[in-house]
Amino acid sequence: MNLQQTIRNIKNLDEMAMTAARARQESLTKPSGSLGRLEDISVQLAGILGQPVPSVRRKTIILAAGDHGVAAEGVSAYPQEVTGQMVLNFLHGGAGINVLARHAGAEVIVVDAGVASELPSDAALRCAKVRNGATGNIARGPAMSREEAVKLLECGIVLAEEQASRGADLIGTGDMGIANTTPSSAIVAVMTGHPPEKVVGRGTGLARKAWLHKVQIVRQAIETNRPDSSDALGVLAGVGGFEIALLAGVMLGTAARRRAVVLDGFISGAAALIAHGLCPAIQPYFLAAHLSAEPGHRLTMAHLRLKPLLDLNLRLGEGTGAALAMGLIEAAARCLAEMATFGEAGVSEKT
């Protein structure tokens, strides 16, 4: 699907459905507002899906993996081959996201958006490669061309449309890519206007020296590529990553099909900044799953005016936070649909 057409297809939420959902919330057997954010979520879902009493049919996590040339700068504690090894782990069902998706009743779609190591062929693995090998090293030049970025965005759109057509009402985003907090930090710094030292996380036990080095690499990536925050596609091509591009496309495709985007943590947040830069109207389609332990994520959430549902100090990625939050989002929809009204239950209202 064409990127520009998809962006044009992202419309406002359905106000009539939201008004009806709000009215139904007031009729249910509980004090007004006592289900807190669950009530807000049910109303938002009504507006997204265009249903006064929204129901969640399928839940899908689109998990994109990609490698990063900037790994050569020594910004990650793990070797680059871990990206491909983890893709196999995803396909075999042994990773955190597999467990949490099973628990949530969600399906995981694993996408090779540009893994550097060779992967054995597997019918369950979706291939969305635009290049063999990792992105360009953003500390020395652009991650990819604008054309490659558009191709990946459009692959993400196609995947989202496919899942929407299969009945997925919640589409979560997940990432895997050794060193991908570095391009994500660069995107967050550019798009939110905060300096790299405020965005880059120290991680657990990331020594001061390693932290200073990572900040320096992010700064160098920005100085080298000179991304302009008003040109989100340029930011993505300059300092982004393959899986980040694909996920930004998933978000646009999901919103264009009026489904809810369940954002995972820091990397998904960076992709959301790109999607939002390309199409600000996407904002109400976002549900932020959790607040990542990465400090730049808080800045991302503030920029996107999103309040994460969970704050559990997660920093694994893969869509793990999104899978956990899907349980809460579905619970919110079920309360609106399944609770009895005061009238039905014969319960007295406020005096």
Q: What are the catalytic residues?
A: 318
CB 289, CB 69: distance < 8 Å: no
Q: Which of 22, 53, 96, 129 binds a second copy (CB under 8 A)?
A: 96
CA 329 to chain centre: 15
| Cα–Cα distance for residue pair 250/319, rounded to 1 Å | 13
Residue 313 binds a second copy (CB under 8 A):
yes
Nearest partner of 159 among 6, 300, 285, judged by Cα: 6
DSSP state of 116: S
Residue 165 in contact with a second copy, rule: CB under 8 A: no
Among 13, 75, 82, 159, binds a second copy (CB under 8 A): 82
Residue 9 vs 80, nearer CB to a second copy: 80
Cβ partners under 8 Å of residue 117, min gap 6? 67, 80, 81, 83, 84, 85
Count, residues near a second copy per rule CB under 8 A: 58
Q: Count the neighbouring beta carbons within 10 Å of the beta carbon of residue 345.
A: 10
Q: What is the DSSP string of 41-85?
A: HHHHHHHHHT-SS----EEEEEEEE---GGGGGS--SS-THHHHH
User: In the window 177-236, what residues touch a second copy (CB under 8 A)?
Assistant: 204
Alpha-carbon distance of 323 to 329, in angstroms, equals: 10
Residues in 275-304 at the binding interface with a second copy, rule: CB under 8 A: 293
Strands (E), 182-278: 260-263
Based on CB atoms, which residue is closest to a second copy, 135 or 320? 320
Question: Least distance from C-beta 88 to a second copy, angstroms?
Answer: 7
Binding of a second copy at residue 57 (CB under 8 A)?
A: no
Task: Find the shortest distance in angstroms from Cβ 21 to a second copy.
Answer: 15
Site for a second copy in 316-335 (CB under 8 A): 316, 320, 324, 327-328, 330-331, 334-335
- Closest CB to a second copy among residues 92, 305: 92
100 lies in the binding site for a second copy (CB under 8 A): yes
Which residue from 19, 20, 22, 88 is in contact with a second copy, where contact means CB under 8 A? Answer: 88
Q: In terms of DSSP bridges, do strands 58-65 and 286-288 run parallel, antiparallel, or are they unpaired?
A: unpaired
Binding site for a second copy (CB under 8 A): 28-38, 77-79, 81-82, 85-86, 88-89, 92, 94-96, 98-100, 102-103, 204, 293, 309-316, 320, 324, 327-328, 330-331, 334-335, 338-340, 344-351
